[in-house]
Amino acid sequence: MIDILQQKWSEILDFFKQEYDIQDISFKTFILPLKVKSFENNVVTLVFTGRSGSASLQYINKKYFDFLQISISVVLEEDIELQIVLPGDDEEKKVSSIPAVNDEDLVLEKRIHEAHLDSKYTFDSFVVGNNAAAQVTSLAVADSPGEVYNPLFIYGGVGLGKTHLLQSIGNYILKQDKKAKVLYTDTESFTNEVIDLLRAKQTSQEEIIEFRNKYRNVDVLLIDDIQFISKKDRTQEEIFNIFNNLFLKHKQIVITSDRRPEEIEDIADRLKSRFQQGLTVDMQSPDYETRMAILRKHAESKGYILTDDKDDTFSVNFLKALDYIATHFVSNVRELEGSLNNVIAFSKINNDSEITAEFAAETLKVENKENKITCDYIINIVAEHFQISPADICSKKKSKEIAYPRQVCMYLCRVYTDEKLSTIAAALKKNNHATVSFGYEKIKNEIEEDDNVRNMIDVLKKKINPN
């Protein structure tokens, strides 16, 4: 039977590509590397031979699995079951669960350090959730640096995983290419280097050239938080020149920001233009399922083994604690992991007290009261409700799909915070606080006149303050 499957594999791929209407880069990255391993008892086993194995496999199973199974069944004209594995799962390729440290590992560790990267940031440890687009494009860039999506511009709010993806790209490339030169920098560090050069009384031409070559003689440049070059003319000039130099040599550039390129104020138009000439993708706040997955993975990284067995009392109670955190802390990954860290630490301080929903609530109640209801928190709640990104709400977009949720934020910020109108306007990236007054009054009137609006606001209020 495997012979028939292998003979028809090209036909299956053609059918899949035609019916699914998949982008070429995604087809090349995720589908072409699938190879036939076996076909026994109506079970088709495929091996994913591409790069970033487990991260890619996770994405394939979520995005393409069902349609792959349908495609195979249609072409073979029989119902089949499908499973997709990694080469490391093959019996003939068993390896020790504790890999030996060899010279290559030490060399890689040294290169990661020299690139200013943190090895803990990998595609495997990134929880995809509703940020599939950002992960797929990052994987594509890591697979073919300088060939697709150059520059790649990733934007989104604080703590959503931009730095994680940025550094994952660097770590992945270093692992795959022993000769690749990768360099990560945050904008603050880069700016400080520029300032040091300018302040030095006797900066030689050689020192200036050395500084520029540091960034120009790389294959991949990763720049974090580019929005901080605002109003820094000399820093902008250096980045512009470095950008042009690398781009002309087909070297990969990846940039992160808390907003879209066109929304970064006080930077030169020529820089905005450069940032926009590749691909721009956004990072969204994690939905509930993603928040739970993030918390569970973080708990397991701390040594907690959790199961879905209803008779496992420890896991049941621990998962209820994670549910409490996922429900009450919705803004970003950093906040989620920080809250869980606090609960774990408090448990250890109290003689390893059992971690339950009640214990989590007691541990986090002070933080909840003091920090929970902020403008940023409300923006994230509203964005998730309307299934848009916080960056959209804080953008200059004027479509009804964006403007209306923005006005809802204005109303709820007035209701739940003591912030001045100007502060609320700033949180929404608006210059005129009169806009906030208008939005507040508009929603207030609609609540009085429209039951649907009143019910929608009630739902949001319960999400903002469940207690």
Question: Residue 239: exposed, middle, or buried by beta-carbon count in 10 A (0-12, 13-18, 19+)?
Answer: buried
Task: Identify the pLDDT of residue 83.
Answer: 92
3-state class of 252 per DSSP? strand
pLDDT (average), residues 292-318: 90
Q: Are 180 and 173 in contact (CB under 8 A)?
A: yes
> In terms of C-beta distances under 8 Å and separation of at least 24 residues, what long-range contacts does 234-242 make, across chains too?
234/194, 234/198, 235/187, 235/190, 235/191, 235/194, 236/267, 236/268, 236/271, 238/190, 238/194, 238/212, 239/190, 239/271, 240/268, 240/270, 240/271, 240/274, 241/212, 242/212, 242/215, 242/216
Q: How many helices (H) and strands (E) does the chain have?
A: 22, 8
For residue 278, pLDDT over 70 is answered with yes
The CA-CA-CA angle for residues 21, 26, 28, to 5°, reads 105
How far is residue 207's CA from residue 10's CA, in Å, rounded to a whole number? 57
Higher pLDDT, 141 or 159: 141
As a whole number, mean pLDDT of residues 152-157 equals 92
Average pLDDT, the chain: 87
pLDDT of residue 437 exceeding 90, the answer is: no
Q: Give dist(CA 123, CA 139) in Å, integer.
A: 8
Which residues line the annotated binding site for ATP? 159, 161-163
Nearest-CA neighbor of 197 among 231, 238, 228, 227? 238
Mean of the pLDDT values across residues 388-397?
91
How many Å apart are CA 212 and CA 242, to the nearest integer?
7
Residue spans of alpha helices (H) in 99-229:
103-114, 132-143, 162-176, 187-199, 205-216
Rounded to 10 deg, the angle between the 288-301 and 313-328 helix axes is 130
Q: Which residue has the higher pLDDT, 464 or 46?
A: 46
Q: What is the pLDDT of residue 50?
A: 79
Cα 134 to Cα 281: distance, rounded to the nearest angstrom:
6
Lowest-confidence segment of 17-21, 99-103, 109-113, 219-223 by average pLDDT: 99-103
Average pLDDT of span 293-315: 90
pLDDT tops 60 at residue 467? no
As a whole number, mean pLDDT of residues 26-40 equals: 87
Q: Which of 43-57, 319-333, 351-365 has the lowest average pLDDT? A: 43-57
For the chain, state the CA radius of gyration: 25
Q: Are strands 152-155 and 43-48 parallel, antiparallel or unpaired?
A: unpaired
Q: Given this model, what pLDDT does residue 366 score?
A: 43
How much is the pLDDT for 168? 96
pLDDT digits (tens, 9 = 90+) for 178-215: 999 999 999 999 999 998 888 776 777 888 889 999 99
Per-residue tokens: 135: 């992960």
- Per-residue pLDDT for 98 more than 60? no
pLDDT value of residue 61? 84
Alpha-carbon gap, residue 282 to 157, rounded angstroms? 9
**pLDDT at residue 339, rounded to an integer:** 92
Query: What's residue 370's pLDDT?
Result: 43
Domains of the chain (ranges plus CATH)? 2-93 (3.30.300.180), 103-282 (3.40.50.300), 288-371 (1.10.8.60), 375-464 (1.10.1750.10)
Average pLDDT of the segment spanning 377-403:
91
Closest of 282, 27, 258 to residue 140, by C-alpha: 27
User: Measured between alpha carbons, how far apart are the two ends of the chain, in Å?
Assistant: 60
What does the pLDDT read at residue 27?
83
Q: pLDDT class for 97, splitting at 50, 70, 90?
A: very low
Q: How far apart are CA 85 and CA 91, in angstroms?
A: 12
Contact 408, 368 (CB under 8 A): no
Q: Residue ranges for the binding site?
A: 159, 161-163
